[in-house]
Structure formats: C-alpha cells, structure tokens
C-alpha cells in the first residue's frame, strides 16, 4: 500500500487536494469533529482535564475555541487527549483499506506527531498567503487567534516543504489541481 501524506498551511486546500486523488482519505479534522459530537469518554477526559471550559456533551466547537483561547496550555491538553484516539481511528482506517493500492492521510499534525513512516510519499500544498487568508475569513467559525495558536504548534512550512517528495501549487482552480494530481499519480505508480 502506498501512503500519501498531505502537508501545508491551515487553509491551503489540503483536504480538497486529498479528495482529488480519488482514493480513500483519512481526514483527521473530520474525525476530531465526530469525537466531539459522539464520544462520551473523550468528553469525560476533556471535562476532567479542563473542568472550567469543557462542560457540555456533545462538545461544541465554540466551547473548544474559547478553551484554546483562554490559556495557551489548553491546546496541548486537548491534543494529548484527542491524539491517541485519532491514531486509533487511523489504524482502523489503515486496516480497513489494507488491500487498497493507495491511501491518503489528511492529518494536520502528521509530522509533528510522528505519524508518518519513512516510505510515505509527502506532498506539500503551497498556496498564496493572502489567498489563504481570504479563504479562512469565509469559514463560519473564523478566528485569527485560534489559527495563530495552531500555527505555533506546527513545524515550519519551509521544513514541511523540504521534507516533501512533491509540491502542489494550489491556485484554487480545479483544473490545476487535477493536472498536478494526475502527474504525481503517474510518478508513483
């Protein structure tokens, strides 16, 4: 099985590119959202660790946002609880798709949490910073302070770019992405 890891800045279009490959995608952000909505054990652990902040189940995104903004250590506490569960979900995904020729890992902290393997093919999504900013501002729960907190815990974009086997320049047009994805698939098959 070929594993492709998608890297890039917040809002660079990682999930869009991941889905453009046409192979099974493990989307960590989506899995985190499901944990907040459906996993009572996660709520209990978060409530125990952050009793002043995480108070209701299902956990609302606004509650998590307020928690992260209240104290810079809160994000680390949340990650410490959420990450092992996401890793379990990823392992289930990998087992379920073990006969597939190729799978995509859309995991924002792929390198930071050492989830990648040596043989993984890493693809960096490069996008114009002002375009990213414009797109992020359109998101329903946009909060620049939250985005900056997340950026602080991530490795530098330069480091991720250097670690990558391929770079996709995302100008946010469908055709450009499809062409670059096709080119990469030809190179790795």
> What's the CATH number where 123 sits?
3.40.50.300
Find the DSSP H helices in 23-101: 28-38, 40-49, 61-70, 72-96
Domain boundary among 43, 75, 96: 96
Same domain, 58 and 113: no
Distance CA 158, CA 165 (A): 13
Find the DSSP H helices in the chain: 14-20, 28-38, 40-49, 61-70, 72-96, 129-137, 144-152, 157-163, 174-188
Split at pLDDT 50, 70, 90, the class of 130 is confident
Q: What is the token pair recorded at 96?
A: 């379920």
pLDDT at residue 51 is higher than 80: yes
Same domain, 64 and 107: no
Which pLDDT score is estimated for 133?
A: 86
Same domain, 87 and 127: no
Average pLDDT rounded to a whole number, residues 121-132? 92
Split at pLDDT 50, 70, 90, the class of 138 is confident
Same domain, 180 and 121: yes
pLDDT at residue 134 is higher than 90: no
Q: At what angle do helices 72-96 and 40-49 cross, to 10 degrees?
A: 160
Split at pLDDT 50, 70, 90, the class of 61 is confident
18 burial class (0-12, 13-18, 19+ CB within 10 angstroms)?
A: buried
Same domain, 78 and 157: no
Q: What is the token pair recorded at 114?
A: 């050492």
Which pLDDT score is estimated for 102?
A: 97
pLDDT at residue 54 is higher than 90: yes
Same domain, 118 and 88: no
Average pLDDT rounded to a whole number, residues 21-48? 96
Q: Are 29 and 36 in contact (CB under 8 A)?
A: no
Same domain, 72 and 134: no
Q: How many domains does the chain have?
A: 2
């Amino acid at each position: 099985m070929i594993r492709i890891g998608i890297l890039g800045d917040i809002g660079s279009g990682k999930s869009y590119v991941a889905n453009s490959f046409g192979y099974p995608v493990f989307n960590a952000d989506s899995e985190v959202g499901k944990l907040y909505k459906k996993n009572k054990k996660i709520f209990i652990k978060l409530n125990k660790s952050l009793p002043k902040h995480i108070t209701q189940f299902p956990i609302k995104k606004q509650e998590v946002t307020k928690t992260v903004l209240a104290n810079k250590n809160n994000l680390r506490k949340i990650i410490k609880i959420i990450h092992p569960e996401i890793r379990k979900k990823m392992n289930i995904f990998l087992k379920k798709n073990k006969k597939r020729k190729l799978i995509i890992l859309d995991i924002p902290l792929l390198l930071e949490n050492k989830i990648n393997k040596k043989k993984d093919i890493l693809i960096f999504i490069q996008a114009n910073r002002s375009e990213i900013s414009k797109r992020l501002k359109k998101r329903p729960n946009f909060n620049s302070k939250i985005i900056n907190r997340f950026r602080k815990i991530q490795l530098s974009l330069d480091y991720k770019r250097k670690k990558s086997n391929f770079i996709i320049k995302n100008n946010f047009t469908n055709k450009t992405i499809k062409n670059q994805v096709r080119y990469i698939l030809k190179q790795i098959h």
